[in-house]
């Protein structure tokens, strides 16, 4: 019997308050995104200290951090397209709650780990946690008025960077000031993830896609990936977004090593890591929603090009900073630029992809992250042998390529418009 191919039918009527509750949906999904980033950032920020406590030799810390970081996305890459089409076909709400519950399991496993191989197994489970951001983004797009879309997407895009900032900041206080063990940081993240699952279960409404897909999960997932690859404009956006994510995944696992290089390995290193990767990144994350209105006014692509360039300069400057305070200032700029890149890519996809492919495309928006998450830390682990300058310089090159890829076509378009007839 021939397997039916994918087709689409109009969605059923939304709940009566769906159109009026976009702020509520944005708030709840923003909390979910914040808590997920909060916990994941703590894993990266304090992995160095955790591995030291497990007895990993100092010479092996850099490569071990890079390789363990790459495990986060290994299992998630092949199944992420399935989560997106499952959510559109059956329930977005269930898929998002699933992610929060798996987060709790992952953070519990990390907290219980006492050896590097146990930590590796726990990080592999993150693959079953992925696939929620695109689903939330698609739902926000479906309920938000067009005139508010840029700002709403920018606010949602900022929740992850803010969570990435607050997690290490609070963790640094718990470890350095309160004297709690590193594992306590992960127990807190596990508890918050359970709370998010309950909040979503009882506080959020189901948001059905504008076009409900019909067909088997396998054919729909294949069709979603094929649609992204076949659309030249979408493909270019995925590629440039991938460059930004590659840069982040190369640099982020090694930022604590850069902090330790400036402070030494004394008792205050956890607080310094929390300050740089937390407080400074928080300021950058809070500044990033400004990109939304700027994109609405000047265009998403000009803001995207400037954000790429600013992020490249920030990454290149990090290894040159003489103090923790100076490094933190550069991280502010870099964090704001990375968050702005994310918001602009989200915005471009939300307004330029046709409705019949919009939900499937947005559900795959972080597919480049999963590839970057596997390859990026491994590249960093290879570069760290040449010094931390090579790691951050390599990441800066990625963002510089993104700036050129977006800026050159934009400049050519402007030049054609200004050319006399």
Strand 7-10 versus strand 211-214 pairing type: antiparallel
| Beta bridge partner(s), residue 10 | 211
CA distances from 279 to 161, 263, 272 (A): 11, 17, 10
| Residue 26: predicted pLDDT | 93
Report the C-alpha gap between 247 and 409 in whole angstroms: 22
Radius of gyration from C-alpha coordinates of the chain: 21
Residues 6+ apart with CB under 8 A from 15: 205, 206
Report the C-alpha gap between 281 and 336 in whole angstroms: 8
Main-chain phi, psi angles of 123, to 5 degrees:
-70, -30
Strands (E), 267-333: none
**CB 47 within 8 Å of CB 101:** no
Report the C-alpha gap between 48 and 50 in whole angstroms: 5
| Residue 17: predicted pLDDT | 45
Q: Name the burial class of residue 389, with classes exposed (0-12), middle (13-18) and buried (19+) by CB atoms within 10 angstroms of its CB.
A: middle
* Tens-binned pLDDT, residue by residue, of the chain (421 aa): 333 444 444 444 444 344 448 889 999 999 999 999 999 888 888 888 888 888 888 778 777 877 787 777 777 777 777 888 888 888 999 999 999 999 999 999 999 999 988 998 898 888 788 888 888 988 888 888 877 777 787 788 778 878 887 888 888 889 888 889 989 999 999 999 999 999 999 998 898 887 777 777 777 777 777 877 788 888 888 888 889 988 988 888 888 888 888 887 666 787 788 788 776 667 666 766 777 777 777 888 898 999 999 999 999 999 999 988 899 889 888 888 887 888 888 888 877 777 667 666 776 777 787 777 778 877 887 888 888 889 999 999 999 999 999 988 888 777 777 776 5
Compute how many other C-beta atoms are within 10 angstroms of the C-beta atom of residue 230.
Answer: 11
**Token pair for 128:** 């079953």
Class of domain 17-418: mainly alpha
């Amino acid at each position: 019997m021939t397997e039916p191919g994918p087709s689409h039918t109009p969605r059923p009527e939304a709940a009566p308050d769906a159109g009026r509750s976009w702020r509520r949906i944005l708030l709840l999904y923003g909390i979910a995104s914040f808590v997920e980033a909060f916990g994941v950032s703590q894993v990266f920020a304090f992995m160095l200290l955790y591995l030291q406590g497990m007895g990993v030799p100092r010479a092996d810390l850099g490569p071990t951090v890079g390789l363990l970081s790459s495990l986060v996305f290994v299992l998630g890459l092949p199944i992420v397209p399935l989560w997106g089409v499952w959510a559109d076909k059956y329930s977005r709400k269930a898929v998002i709650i699933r992610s929060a519950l798996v987060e709790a399991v992952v953070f519990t496993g990390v907290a219980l780990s006492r050896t590097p191989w146990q930590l590796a197994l726990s990080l592999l489970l993150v693959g079953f946690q992925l696939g929620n951001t695109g689903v939330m983004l698609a739902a926000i797009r479906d309920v938000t008025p067009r005139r508010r879309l840029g700002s709403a997407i920018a606010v949602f895009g900022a929740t992850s960077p803010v969570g990435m900032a607050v997690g290490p900041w609070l963790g640094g206080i718990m470890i350095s000031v309160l004297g709690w063990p590193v594992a306590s940081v992960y127990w807190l993240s596990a508890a918050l993830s359970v709370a998010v699952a309950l909040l979503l279960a009882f506080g959020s409404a189901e948001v059905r896609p504008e076009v409900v897909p019909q067909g088997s999960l396998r054919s729909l997932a294949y069709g979603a990936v094929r649609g992204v690859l076949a659309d030249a404009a979408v493909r270019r956006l995925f590629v440039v977004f991938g460059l930004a994510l590659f840069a982040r995944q190369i640099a982020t696992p090694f930022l604590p090593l850069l902090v330790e290089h400036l402070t030494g390995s004394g008792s205050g290193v956890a607080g310094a890591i929390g300050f740089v990767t937390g407080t400074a990144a928080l300021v950058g994350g809070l500044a990033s929603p400004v990109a939304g209105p700027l994109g609405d006014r000047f265009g998403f692509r000009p803001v995207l090009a400037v954000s790429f360039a600013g992020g490249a300069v920030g990454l290149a400057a990090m290894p040159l900073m003489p103090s923790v305070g100076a490094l933190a200032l550069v991280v502010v700029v870099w964090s704001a630029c990375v968050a702005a890149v994310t918001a602009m890519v989200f915005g471009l996809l939300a307004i330029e992809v046709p409705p019949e492919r919009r939900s499937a495309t947005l559900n795959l928006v972080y597919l480049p992250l999963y590839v970057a998450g596997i390859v990026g830390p491994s590249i960093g682990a290879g570069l760290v042998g040449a010094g931390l300058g090579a790691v951050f310089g390599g990441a800066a090159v990625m963002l510089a390529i993104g700036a050129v890829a977006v800026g050159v076509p934009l400049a050519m378009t402007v030049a054609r418009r200004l050319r006399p007839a």
